[in-house]
Each structure stands twice: as C-alpha cells, then as structure tokens.
C-alpha cells in the first residue's frame, strides 16, 4: 500500500509538470496563429487624368466601292479579270457592237446628208427661191438627223463599260458570251486605298461626339495594329430602331491591309477628367453595401488590411475614377485583394504610384 501511494504521487507530479503552461509566451503564439499574412501589391494614390472613352464596334468600308451595271443590251464579248487593277475610264467590259456600229454609220450618213441639204437650201432661202415653210422643214430634218446620230453614238458607247474610278476588280457577275440587259450588274470595282470606318453611336452621347473627336482603333485581324484618328463625319439623324447616329472615320490605307467588312474596335474620347484619383477596376471589391478597396494601415509596426468603402465615377476600359473614400497618399491594394479579410497582415511585394500603375493599365487596354 505504501509503494502504491508513492507511485501515484510521482505520476501526479509528472503530469502537472508536463501540462504546465508557459505564461510568458503561449498567448502570443496563439495570437500569431490567428493573424494571416497575405502577399499583395499596392499603389500610392496621387492625382491623375482620366480620359473617359466610349467603346464601340465599327465596320471597314472602302471609300470607293461600286457595282457597275450595263446600260445596253447585248452579248458580253470580253470582261476584265478578277483582281485586275483598272484606272478611271478604262474599259472593263465590252459587248458585241456590230449591229450598233452599223446603226451608227447609217445615222452618221443620214446626218451628213441632212447637213448638206440644209446648207444648200439655206442659200436658196436667202435668195427667196424657197419658202420659209420649206426651209424650216429642211432645218427640222437636219436636227432630227443629228439627234438620231447622237442616240446611235450613245448606244454604241454603252457597249463599252468603263471604270468610274481607279480600283481593283473584286467581283464579276457575268462571263464572256452571256447576254445581258440594261440594269444588270457586270462587275464590282473597289478602291481600298482609302477606307471609312463606320459605326453607330448611342444617342445619349450626342452632346459629346462630334466631327473632330479623337478615336483610338484596333482591328481584330491584326492584334498589334492600332491607329488614332479623328471623326470625319457625325450624323445629325438618330435611327428610330437602333437609337444611334452614324459616324465615319476616314483612314489612308496605302498597303491595303484594311479590307472592307473587317471589324474595328473603337474607343471614342468622351471627355477628359483632370486632377482625379484613378484605380484599376480590378482593385474594387464589391459587397452588399457597394464598392470597397483595401487600404494599408500601420498597426503595432505591421502593415494590415483595412477595408474602405468608396464611391466610383467615370469608368473607361480597365480604369475607374474614385470620387470619394480615398485621398492622395493612401496606399491601396491592387493585387491579392481577393484573398484579403479585414485586419489581415500584409506582405507588400511591390509598391508603385497610382499614375504609373494606371498608365500601364491604360496602354494594355488600348492594345486590346
């Protein structure tokens, strides 16, 4: 019994010593385990300029694009080849003109005879040998013969279809040997040395978009091809169905890299906002109360996350204006914020000025 009592006492002492807490450090370790550390990138807010842009899709159209139709009936004798370059006035299609050529020669002979007769009878009329009625009849016959000659000449010329402007034959609607009638399309000639970008602008922007407004353009077919130009035409009429008004941007296209019906992505400058605070839109964290951002605060020598509700203004591309909730000098988390909670400790990997950061975001938005 005495041995058992001693054993129980020793076991009790052992458990008391092993379970004794270190009052000087245990609480600190538990607190450290509760505070997360999250790696983030931040920007220091400073006043910047924001260009509010309107994003639209437009379509490339050739400045000169025409379907050439026939003005006469006949059989196609020859026609320009697809892809052939033609100059203004060049013959792009010919019809069999033998019958019309004969009619023209007959009309020309008749006119020459009428003119000769008129000249002879004019002398007789001057000498009062023929009456005024006879003279007027001969003069009318001359005028009729002239009109018939001009008509025959016009019909003969219509058998040669000419290019109305310099360009390239892009389509042929008939082939050599086919019979055509007046009004039938023959070829399509396109001059894409200059192109128009056309688009429809929503009517709510009618006070902001006008001729001369700056436009940034990119083309889906050419990922890195960006252009800047000004609107050359802004319509005054709103389409009743789409509630948009038309605009056009004229662009030189000497290399023919832009082709009709290509899609152009447009960014039209609406207004420029000076001396404002700008953030990338990805920095915004939304909850049921609205938009928020995480701001860096100092606490016991550590950087911690503090969620701040903000009010946003104009948005353009990847950028958003902050009109309330932040002041210059605030340090805002712009990367890693999706993993943050209020009070999390921060490991700041990189800090930039907001103008430097948003400038890079703006260039990326333009390239896209």
> In the structure encoding, which two tokens stand for residue 207, read together?
């006070």
Q: Which of 228, 243, 273 is the last residue of a domain?
A: 273
Q: What is the pLDDT of residues 83-141, one digit of tens each?
A: 999 999 999 999 998 888 888 899 999 999 999 998 988 888 787 888 888 888 999 99
What are the pLDDT digits (tens) for 57-81? 999 999 899 999 998 888 999 999 9
Whether residue 84 is found in the same domain as residue 74: yes
Judge if 295 and 322 occupy the same domain: yes
The verdict on residue 8 lying in a domain is no
Whether 326 is covered by a domain: the verdict is yes
**217 and 137, same domain (yes or no):** no
At 235-253, the pLDDT tens digits run 999 999 999 999 999 999 9
* pLDDT for 301: 87
pLDDT band per the 50, 70, 90 thresholds, residue 224 = low
Distance, CA of 47 to CA of 277 (rounded, Å): 5
Of the residues 273, 308, 325, the one at which a domain ends: 273
CATH of the domain at 290: 2.40.420.20
| In a shared domain, residues 240 and 286 | no
- Domains in the chain: how many in total? 3
pLDDT at 12 over 70: no
Does 18 score more than 70 pLDDT? Answer: no
Residues 79, 139 share a domain: yes
Q: Are residues 214 and 281 in the same domain?
A: no
Number of residues written out for the chain: 368
Is 239 part of a structural domain of the chain?
yes
In a domain, 6, yes or no: no
Domain co-membership, 158 together with 70: yes
Task: For residue 10, name the pLDDT band (cuts at 50, 70, 90).
Answer: very low
Q: Tell me the per-residue pLDDT of 283-318, one tens digit each, with 9 for 90 and over.
A: 999 988 899 999 999 988 899 999 999 999 988 878
Domain boundary among 238, 273, 308: 273
Q: Please check whether residues 266 and 283 belong to one and the same domain.
A: no
CATH code at 176? Answer: 2.40.50.100
Same domain (yes/no): 80, 169: yes
Same domain (yes/no): 82, 109: yes
Is 313 inside a domain boundary?
Answer: yes
Distant-in-sequence, close-in-space partners of 130: CB < 8 Å, separation ≥ 6:
121, 124
Strand partners, 296: 305
Domain identity same for 138 and 154: yes
Q: Given phi > 0 = left and psi -120 to 50 = alpha, else beta, which region is 60?
A: beta
Same-domain check for residues 288 and 226: no
Is 299 a member of any domain?
A: yes
Q: Provide, for the chain, the percentages of residues in helix, strand and coil under a 3-state DSSP scheme, each rounded to the nearest 5.
A: 30, 45, 25
Residue 60 burial class via C-beta count within 10 angstroms: exposed 0-12, middle 13-18, buried 19 and up: buried
Domain-located, residue 7: no
Tell me whether residue 10 is in a domain.
no
Q: Which of 219, 230, 231, 295 is nearest to 258 (CA)?
A: 219
Residue 352, domain extent: 35-54+274-367
């Amino acid at each position: 019994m005495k041995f058992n009592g001693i054993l129980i006492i020793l076991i009790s002492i052992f458990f008391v010593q092993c379970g004794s807490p270190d009052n000087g450090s245990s609480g600190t370790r538990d607190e450290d385990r509760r505070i997360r550390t999250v790696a983030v990138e931040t920007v220091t807010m400073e006043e910047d300029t924001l260009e509010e842009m309107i994003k639209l899709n437009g379509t490339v159209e050739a400045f000169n694009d025409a379907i050439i139709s026939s003005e006469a009936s006949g059989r196609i004798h020859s026609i320009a080849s697809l892809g052939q370059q033609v100059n203004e006035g060049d013959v792009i299609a010919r019809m069999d003109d033998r019958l019309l050529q004969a009619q023209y020669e007959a009309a020309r002979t008749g006119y020459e005879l009428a003119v000769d007769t008129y000249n002879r009878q004019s002398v007789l009329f001057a000498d009062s040998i023929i009456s005024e009625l006879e003279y007027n009849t001969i003069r009318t016959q001359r005028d009729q013969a002239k009109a018939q000659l001009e008509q025959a000449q016009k019909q003969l010329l219509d058998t040669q279809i000419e290019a109305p402007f310099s360009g390239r034959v892009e389509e042929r609607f008939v082939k050599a040997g086919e019979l055509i009638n007046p009004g039938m399309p023959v070829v399509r000639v396109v001059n894409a040395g200059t192109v128009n970008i056309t688009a429809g602008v929503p009517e709510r922007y009618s006070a902001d978009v006008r001729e001369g407004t700056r436009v940034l353009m990119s083309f889906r077919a050419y990922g890195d091809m960006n252009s800047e130009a000004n609107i050359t035409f802004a319509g005054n009429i709103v389409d009743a169905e789409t509630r948009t008004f038309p605009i056009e941007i004229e662009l030189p296209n000497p290399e023919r890299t832009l082709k009709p019906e290509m899609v152009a992505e447009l960014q039209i400058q609406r207004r420029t906002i000076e001396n404002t605070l700008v953030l990338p839109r990805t920095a915004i964290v939304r909850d049921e109360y609205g938009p928020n951002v995480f701001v860096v605060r100092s606490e016991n020598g550590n950087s911690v996350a503090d969620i701040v509700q903000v009010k946003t203004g104009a948005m353009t591309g990847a950028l958003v204006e902050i009109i309330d909730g932040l002041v210059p000098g605030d340090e805002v988390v712009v990367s890693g914020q999706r993993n943050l909670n209020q009070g999390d400790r921060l490991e700041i990997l990189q800090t930039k000025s907001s103008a430097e950061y948003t400038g890079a975001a703006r260039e990326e938005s333009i390239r896209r």
